[in-house]
Structure 1
């Protein structure tokens, strides 16, 4: 049996769901590969390069800024699961002007996406509001700070269901990133200078990932079970609605990339970072 490390670089169903399904359903074992799932959130990119990575956004940024030859072999979704969540006094994106927003740093993938969406709403992230950079986590401290008023809004990920939190806390869901900016963000990627793309272990991970995507598409009840296991504050009906809104219709069933979407996204990220863009065809492989 082959052995390989698979690293996630964020928490929540956006990053973890498909690998978790592949593991729990025995797909890695079926493919003859022992996968060690690693928490690479705090890792430097150099350490991450020795693993297969789930984080396609971070891979893209390091490819554009440092020339690391990340190659994407499977894409789970083109719609990032991040949301702008306003406190009691902020009910629309326009109301972020002059406010304090807790958000990922601009040099990270989620932070870069946030800046792109802010600009789409006519907000300069460097002048029109105060962006309070914080490290990614489960966003519980953001909720605490929204309650005490020390921040006015937060940019949160998929460790929570934003509608449920907003209803409980008297907050407001201002925008879902996936409605405003599409980019291949999670799946399977490797640094081609460190791991052979066509090696049996890498290809086994790709096949298991695609099988998990098919399972989620063909067995939505099972997929909802897995969503509910991550978001255990939700009732079954709430987990079903979350799946139907953000997961089922937004994840691919075969791991294929939409190259037109990918190219627009690469160009937008490069422009935000102030670096040259790159052809999407050199970054994203078509599924076989």
Structure 2
């Protein structure tokens, strides 16, 4: 399955636009696109929505369009063929995609620390009771899959025999499987995000307790775009960090702006916002020690097979961001 994933990541053809999740959110006549791996994650999508709606991209001289996707593997195809300027995704993607031969580099930290949690139904089992049960992840080989395996090992379980890890896709699919009792729990970012805020799930384990060094989200671009369109990349990153600053200072307005695009009630977005603040980046600088820990983790889990030099994974050309 891992070989298939690496082969899949090497594909750059395909109908990229059809993989997107939602109607595009245009700032102006679009010239570049900013893509996120999913829509239903405030930490990923929220800053892009705010930067678009508040005109921060325009202020930085960038005509931008927000385009959410159905996962990191779909997003990278769009980045590689030049349909997306900047991709925003889970941090382990940069290590996996580079190992698969993709010419991309991390350009900024989009979320610090580790905001993944294991959640279950309000009347569901405790974390210690998950042995022998099914746990939902987005897909095999994803950050969620890797972290669930780490959680299993932390509790003394064999991740291949003692738990059943199921690739189910997005949040709606996870919640549906949980309600049908096809899974006992699932892993999600945003500290549980909207499902916890709505009272549909409860947190039973914070993955940050076993990953003291980690990065939640990254911004990346193709090496080709970094060379050819450095100023557009720089302007887009600056606009996103204007959005981070605005969101930290204006939680209620940020919730009002993002709620319609996310499809959540403003009060739910506000609750998610409060849990997001601790991982919101200050200036985008890249924690190389955290990248090393993540690379070690992926090697140990068998997700990647070779150790590439860390400096091949990122550039410091665009950070720290000074506004």
Shared fold by TM > 0.5? Answer: yes
Give the number of the structure with larger relative contact order, counting CA–CA contacts within 8 Å between residues 6 or more apart. Answer: 1
- For structure 1, the residue ranges without an aligned partner over 5 or more in a row are none
Q: Is the 8 A contact 2:153 2:159 kept in 1?
A: yes
Distance 1:257 1:277 in 2: 19
Q: Does 1:4 align with 2:44?
A: no
Distance 1:38 1:30 in 2: 20
CA deviation digits over 1:126-146, x for unaligned, max 9?
1111112212x2x23332332
Report how far residue 233 of structure 1 moved.
Answer: 4.4
Q: Does 1:124 align with 2:158?
A: yes
Equivalenced residue count is 279
Q: Is the 8 A contact 1:77 1:184 kept in 2?
A: yes
Q: Does 1:186 align with 2:220?
A: no
1:163 partner SS? helix
Q: 2:310 aligned to 277, 280, 284, which one? A: 280
Distance 1:222 1:44 in 2: 29
- For structure 2, the residue ranges without an aligned partner over 5 or more in a row are 1-28
Distance 1:216 1:180 in 2: 29
Q: Does 1:30 align with 2:63?
A: no
Distance 1:226 1:247 in 2: 16
1:190 partner SS? strand
Instruction: Return closer, same or farther for 1:48/1:22 CA change in 2, 3 Å cut-off.
Output: same
Instruction: Return closer, same or farther for 1:107/1:22 CA change in 2, 3 Å cut-off.
Output: same
Report how far residue 207 of structure 1 moved.
Answer: 1.3
CA deviation digits over 1:87-142, x for unaligned, max 9?
3664322211001112222312332233233323333321111112212x2x2333
1:146 aligned residue: 178
2:33 partner SS? strand
TM-score normalised to structure 2 length: 0.74
Q: 1:249 aligned to 273, 278, 297, which one? A: 278
